[in-house]
Structure 1
Amino acid sequence: MEKTSKTYQAYIEILKRELVPAMGCTEPIAIAYCAARAREALGKLPDKITVAASGNIIKNVKSVIVPNTDGRKGIEAAAAIGVLAGDANAALEVIAHVKPEEKEKLGSYMENTEIHVDAAQSEHVLDIIVTVWSGSDTAEVHVVNEHTNIVKISKNDAVIFEKEIVDSVDTGKPDYECMTIEDIYDFAMTCDLDDIKDTIDRQIAYNTAISDEGLKNNYGANIGKTLLKSYGNDVHVRARARAAAGSDARMNGCEMPVVINSGSGNQGMTVSLPVIEYAKELGSSQDELYRALLLSNLVTLHEKEGIGRLSAYCGAVSAGAGAGAGIAWLCTKDYNAVIHTIVNALAITSGIVCDGAKASCAAKISAAVDAGIMGFEMFRNGQEFYGGDGLVLKGVENTIRNISRLGRIGMKETDKEIIKMMIGQ
């Protein structure tokens, strides 16, 4: 792919835009960020907070531990720590640097502050409005469609900032629709690695570090440790355990950052850690690892673009297929291996639902990575799923479109029922 082409430049921009650090599950962090910006607009510590959130935000915050809150879960904790100690300029690392004395004040602040949570009446899957009060003064911040996409800031009914809410969140964002598996492969094989090395190096360093932490200490259901204890030390198992261990830690309050993919830390770990583990096993060069990670990241972003950031469709499925693509290339350097691995993997795990962020995400990640590896092993052994087998169609792009349709349209009612069950309706 020509370095001067629009497609090449779009891929570089997409990777730099998407592969960014986040500390904590991105949905509670989005609430904390919104709250920190609301306090900034108010200019003082609020004595009352209201959070109106869409169903998918409520679903993804309900059961996950918010970092730097001494093990607290939920929207109230996320909003309170954002208001009390959040860095309003740090985006998804808003509560990454909470001081010990600030953390100590959290319990007392929550006890003495009115905090209300409401369901946002919104057509947007990702929608958060945080309103704060101090006496008669009030401020409000509204985030829509992406975790840090602020569309309105106001104080005492005076608008400080406002922009139009559009389906394409940022009119200046790169062209995601240009992505195809064929072009992604071409880009990954020909990319000047100096253009993206720092971004990928950060993903390798951050995600490896939190995986190490998950395997070293006790977090959640310890899926990573359980895999290694139960199934041994084969690379297939290590690849699953590495990704699961990162999720064990992240879903259960670990205060270390990860580099995300498609707005999700779990997906960021799933696309990267299994590929890194296979590269170690194979003795791959650093350049080969970079190209495999370019492939796994972009394949996942392409799959997720048609589904959306949040849905009833578990994002680990897309990321597991992306990881499978990277592993397939490391093992074969063959385009056909990559496309067949993607189709096979999606056919295996396309029914996993998202019931929010919590400890069991690590087990779902393990299953998704296993499907990615199985998808490749099927190809290596001369086996594949064919067009007409369930949702599989002839051609990798056609299968991806079917899976996107399933996640975006077909599972809308499923998503509503999951949310109702989770909030006890």
Structure 2
Amino acid sequence: MNNTNQHSAYIDILHEELMPAMGCTEPIAIAYAAAMAKKVLDEMPERIVIEASDNIIKNVKSVVVPNTGNLKGIEAAAVAGIIAGDADKVLEVISVVNDDERASIKEYLSSKDISVKASQSGLIFDITIHAYCGDSSVTVQISHFHTNITRIVKNNEVLRMNSDCDEVNMSTKTDRSLMTVHGIIDFAESVDLAKVKEALQQQIDFNYTIATEGIKNSWGANVGSVLLNTWGNDIKNRARAFAAAGSDARMSGCELPVMIVSGSGNQGLTASVPVIEYAKELKVDDDKLYRALLISNLVTIHQKTGIGRLSAYCGAISAGVGAGAGIAWLNGGGYKEIAHTIVNALAIVSGIVCDGAKPSCAGKIASAVEAGILGYEMYKNGQQFYGGDGIVVKGVENTIKNIGRLGKIGMRETDQEIIKMMLEN
């Protein structure tokens, strides 16, 4: 692939991955499917059946659905989409909800027939909403990633069907296999910023705003405030504190949007906020910040490609490593510094589990960002982990490949045990 085509592919990947969302993306995907079902049905459903894969159940169980008055769970997410959702807004589907609608959501939950079933599709990411009113019915299915509507059926008539979809072919439009750390750095340093500036500026504006809200006010476990109160205002501490604070706010129902990365608002926050904080400390211009964010976002996406959208492997780790790469570049690092930062950080924190979306995500984000920064500082001080040290192998691409194998295959049984534990509570 020539340089022009490669740059075009990286631009497409960024625009596919960076998008605005309000709230944790799994319950929002449920709300999106439900809003679409209501739109197609064209009347208020009397009964709803929700089918969800285990990983969806895991990521929706403990998180507050925004704009619902602190309601949690699959049923609340679906009903919010039915009552107040605007399907045309996609992952901002319930960004505008008034008091009457909030009251109607609670009334619907208490008075209507709503049931949740485990999906039998065998897919890791699968949501199906069945909505019924009298003799009319609509089915809407989202599979593989948060905005991918694969099936719409109304009164037994198929309106949309992607029967050959799979995670590799349908979860993204652009081939991720071309991605390399070397290629990412080349792209970030040479791309015409006008082609990516709008999305990156929106990421800066949205993600830093919710991070600041998380620091200023009480949200979740207040991990960011604890970090600042305990270890002070040093840049390394601020970087992880503000990222954690943004997560605490969104996990607890804060009604501010974020720009997601790899289908996750937490990953979007982790990949961006520490880099923004370092850029402020170093007093760099906007263009340098944009290029550092390109490195952070794309290194995050590169790692997640092998792991998949949902896994027992905590996605914030990938984003913390990405942030470390962006911070290394901001400090003058090139390919060698960035590659070693990635390998060092992965050696430290790979294996932290994902047990659903909830306040403890903020603590994991803090650890991931710390590892990203430590990975860079180790290399600056002449220290590194070597091939043969555990899952680290020689070469950054080989280590990233091992991480994909660990997250997708090695932690499959771990994922099932985590889900069993969560459903027992």
TM-score w.r.t. length of structure 2: 0.98
Match of residue 147 from structure 2? 148
1:74 Cα deviation after fit: 0.4
For residues 16 and 253 of structure 1, do their structure 2 counterparts lie closer, same or farther at Cα, with a shift above 3 Å needed?
A: same
Match of residue 22 from structure 2? 23
Matched-pair contact (CA < 8 Å) for 1:26–1:264:
yes
Report whether the alignment pairs 1:348 with 2:348.
yes
Match of residue 224 from structure 1? 224
Deviations for 1:49-70, whole angstroms, at most 9, x for unmatched residues? 1110000000000000000110
What is the distance in 2 between the residues matched to 1:391 and 1:172? 28
SS at match of 1:21: strand
What is the distance in 1 between the residues matched to 2:160 and 2:67? 30
What is the distance in 2 between the residues matched to 1:23 and 1:236? 28
Report runs of 4+ in structure 1 exceeding 6 Å deviation. Answer: none
Report whether the alignment pairs 1:98 with 2:97.
yes
1:100 Cα deviation after fit: 2.5
For residues 172 and 110 of structure 1, do their structure 2 counterparts lie closer, same or farther at Cα, with a shift above 3 Å needed?
A: closer
What is the distance in 1 between the residues matched to 2:231 and 2:374? 16
Deviations for 1:391-411, whole angstroms, at most 9, x for unmatched residues? 000000000000100000000
Deviations for 1:210-238, whole angstroms, at most 9, x for unmatched residues? 01111111111000111000110000000
What is the distance in 1 between the residues matched to 2:218 and 2:352? 26
What is the distance in 2 between the residues matched to 1:25 and 1:43? 27
Match of residue 32 from structure 1? 31
Match of residue 281 from structure 1? 281
Q: What CA RMSD, in Å, does the superposition of the two structures yield over aligned residues?
A: 1.3
What is the distance in 2 between the residues matched to 1:140 and 1:47? 14
Matched-pair contact (CA < 8 Å) for 1:31–1:79:
yes
What is the distance in 1 between the residues matched to 2:114 and 2:216? 36
Instruction: Name the stretch that deviates more: 100-109 or 76-85.
Output: 100-109
Alignment of 1:5-404 (within 5 A): 5-167=4-166, 168-170=168-170, 173-404=173-404
1:389 Cα deviation after fit: 0.2
Matched-pair contact (CA < 8 Å) for 1:146–1:169:
no
Matched-pair contact (CA < 8 Å) for 1:144–1:165:
no
For residues 333 and 125 of structure 1, do their structure 2 counterparts lie closer, same or farther at Cα, with a shift above 3 Å needed?
A: same
SS at match of 2:127: strand
What is the distance in 1 between the residues matched to 2:91 and 2:172? 20
Matched-pair contact (CA < 8 Å) for 1:132–1:139:
yes
Deviations for 1:142-191, whole angstroms, at most 9, x for unmatched residues? 11101111111111111111122422343981121111111011001111
State how many pairs are aligned.
424
Letter of the aligned partner of 2:79 in structure 1? A
Deviations for 1:95-121, whole angstroms, at most 9, x for unmatched residues? 011222211221111111111011101
Matched-pair contact (CA < 8 Å) for 1:34–1:142:
yes
What is the distance in 2 between the residues matched to 1:201 and 1:335? 25
Matched-pair contact (CA < 8 Å) for 2:123–2:144:
yes
What is the distance in 2 between the residues matched to 1:172 and 1:285? 32
For residues 57 and 246 of structure 1, do their structure 2 counterparts lie closer, same or farther at Cα, with a shift above 3 Å needed?
A: same
Letter of the aligned partner of 2:124 in structure 1? V
1:334 Cα deviation after fit: 2.1
What is the aligned-residue identity percentage?
58
Matched-pair contact (CA < 8 Å) for 1:296–1:323:
yes
Matched-pair contact (CA < 8 Å) for 1:32–1:79:
yes
What is the distance in 1 between the residues matched to 2:121 and 2:421? 19
SS at match of 1:132: strand
Matched-pair contact (CA < 8 Å) for 2:148–2:171:
no
SS at match of 1:240: helix
Letter of the aligned partner of 1:255 in structure 2? E
Matched-pair contact (CA < 8 Å) for 2:95–2:255:
yes
What is the distance in 2 between the residues matched to 1:89 and 1:290? 29
Runs of 5+ unmatched residues, structure 1: none
SS at match of 1:95: coil
1:25 Cα deviation after fit: 0.3
1:336 Cα deviation after fit: 1.0
What is the distance in 1 between the residues matched to 2:161 and 2:389? 48
For residues 171 and 123 of structure 1, do their structure 2 counterparts lie closer, same or farther at Cα, with a shift above 3 Å needed?
A: closer
1:247 Cα deviation after fit: 0.1
Instruction: Name the stretch that deviates more: 156-165 or 335-344.
Output: 156-165
What is the distance in 2 between the residues matched to 1:43 and 1:290? 43
Matched-pair contact (CA < 8 Å) for 1:145–1:169:
no
SS at match of 2:170: coil
Runs of 5+ unmatched residues, structure 2: none
Instruction: Name the stretch that deviates more: 199-208 or 283-292.
Output: 283-292
1:196 Cα deviation after fit: 0.5
What is the distance in 1 between the residues matched to 2:406 and 2:93? 34
What is the distance in 1 between the residues matched to 2:161 and 2:402? 36
Matched-pair contact (CA < 8 Å) for 1:149–1:169:
no
For residues 163 and 308 of structure 1, do their structure 2 counterparts lie closer, same or farther at Cα, with a shift above 3 Å needed?
A: same
Letter of the aligned partner of 2:338 in structure 1? V
For residues 165 and 51 of structure 1, do their structure 2 counterparts lie closer, same or farther at Cα, with a shift above 3 Å needed?
A: farther
Letter of the aligned partner of 1:12 in structure 2? I
